[in-house]
Amino acid sequence: MPITYDTTKKQFHLFNDQVSYIMEIVEDLYLTQVYYGQRITSFNQSSSFPRIDRSSFSPNPQQLSNKGFSLNVCLQEAPGYNNGDYRDGLVAATYSDGTKATNLLNQDYRIIPGKPKLDGLPATYVVDDQEATTLLINLSDPYRHLTVTLSYTIYEKRSVITKSTSFTNDSKTTLTLNRALSACVDFPTAEFDVIQMPGDWAREKQLHRQTIMPGLHSLESKRGASGVAQQPFIALADPKTDDKNGEVYGFHFVYSGNFKISTEVDPWQQTRLLIGINPFNFGWTLKPGESFQAPEVVLVYEKNGLNRMSQTFHNLYRERLARGKFQYEERPILINNWETTYFDFNEAKLLTLADDAKKLGVELFVLDDGWFGKRNSDTTSLGDWFVNSKKLTHGLKHLVDQIHNKGLKFGLWFKPEMVSEASDLFKEHPDWHIHIDGYPTSLGRNQLILDFSRKEVRDAIFERMTKILDTVPIDYIKWDMNRNMTEVGSIGRDSKEQLKTSHLYMLGLYEFLEKLTTRYPNILFENCSGGAGRFDAGMVYYMPQSWTSDNTDAVERLKIQYSTSFMFPPIMMCSHISESPNHQIGRQTNLNTRATVAMAGNLGLMLDLKHQTDADLAILKEDLQWYKEHRNLIQFGNFYRLLNPYDHDRYGAFEFLNEDGGLIYFVEILPQASKPWLRLKLQGLEANSLYEINHQKLSGSELMNYGIYMNTDLFGDFQSKLIEFKKIK
Give the span between the Cα atoms of 701 and 696, in whole angstroms.
14
Query: In the complex, what is the shortest distance from the CB of residue 371 to ligand GLA, in angstroms, rounded to a whole number?
Result: 11
Closer to ligand GLA at the Cβ: 413 or 542? 413
Longest CA–CA separation in the chain, Å:
85
Closer to ligand GLA at the Cβ: 378 or 724? 378
Q: Which amino acid is at 379?
A: T
Give the span between the Cα atoms of 438 and 547, in whole angstroms.
36
Closer to ligand GLA at the Cβ: 336 or 563? 336
Give the span between the Cα atoms of 121 and 220, in whole angstroms.
20
Note the residues at the interface with ligand GLA (CB under 6 A): 338, 368-369, 378, 413, 480, 482, 528, 530-531, 547, 550
Closer to ligand GLA at the Cβ: 91 or 481? 481
Query: In the complex, what is the shortest distance from the CB of residue 575 to ligand GLA, in angstroms, rounded to a whole number?
Result: 12
Using the Cα atoms of residue 344, residue 350, residue 352 and residue 353 in order, give the sign of their dihedral: positive
Give the span between the Cα atoms of 572 and 561, in whole angstroms.
11
Query: In the complex, what is the shortest distance from the CB of residue 342 to ligand GLA, in angstroms, rounded to a whole number?
Result: 8
Query: In the complex, what is the shortest distance from the CB of residue 285 to ligand GLA, in angstroms, rounded to a whole number?
Result: 36
Taking CA atoms, 419 is separated from 39, 368, 385, 399, 416, in Å, by: 52, 17, 10, 25, 8
Residue nearest to ligand GLA (CB): 369
Closer to ligand GLA at the Cβ: 158 or 375? 375
Using the Cα atoms of residue 352, residue 353, residue 356 and residue 359 in order, give the sign of their dihedral: negative
Query: In the complex, what is the shortest distance from the CB of residue 228 to ligand GLA, in angstroms, rounded to a whole number?
Result: 11
Query: In the complex, what is the shortest distance from the CB of residue 377 to ligand GLA, in angstroms, rounded to a whole number?
Result: 10
The secondary structure of residue 498, as a DSSP letter, is G
Query: In the complex, what is the shortest distance from the CB of residue 513 to ligand GLA, in angstroms, rounded to a whole number?
Result: 18
> Is there a contact between 381 and 431 (Cβ–Cβ < 8 Å)?
no
Helices 614-636, 347-360: crossing angle, 10 deg rounding:
70
Closest CA to 449 of 515, 512, 387, 505: 505
Closer to ligand GLA at the Cβ: 88 or 369? 369
Give the span between the Cα atoms of 602 and 476, in whole angstroms.
14
> Is there a contact between 453 and 501 (Cβ–Cβ < 8 Å)?
yes
- Counts of helices then strands in the chain (DSSP H, E): 12, 39
Closer to ligand GLA at the Cβ: 246 or 530? 530
**Radius of gyration from C-alpha coordinates of the chain:** 27
Cβ within 8 Å of residue 351, ≥6 positions away: 399, 402, 403
Report, as residue numbers or ranges, the catalytic residues: 480, 550
Closer to ligand GLA at the Cβ: 320 or 375? 375
Taking CA atoms, 690 is separated from 637, 660, 693, 723, in Å, by: 19, 11, 9, 16
Give the span between the Cα atoms of 532 and 546, in whole angstroms.
7
Query: In the complex, what is the shortest distance from the CB of residue 572 to ligand GLA, in angstroms, rounded to a whole number?
Result: 16
Q: Which amino acid is at 464?
A: R
Give the span between the Cα atoms of 326 and 340, in whole angstroms.
28
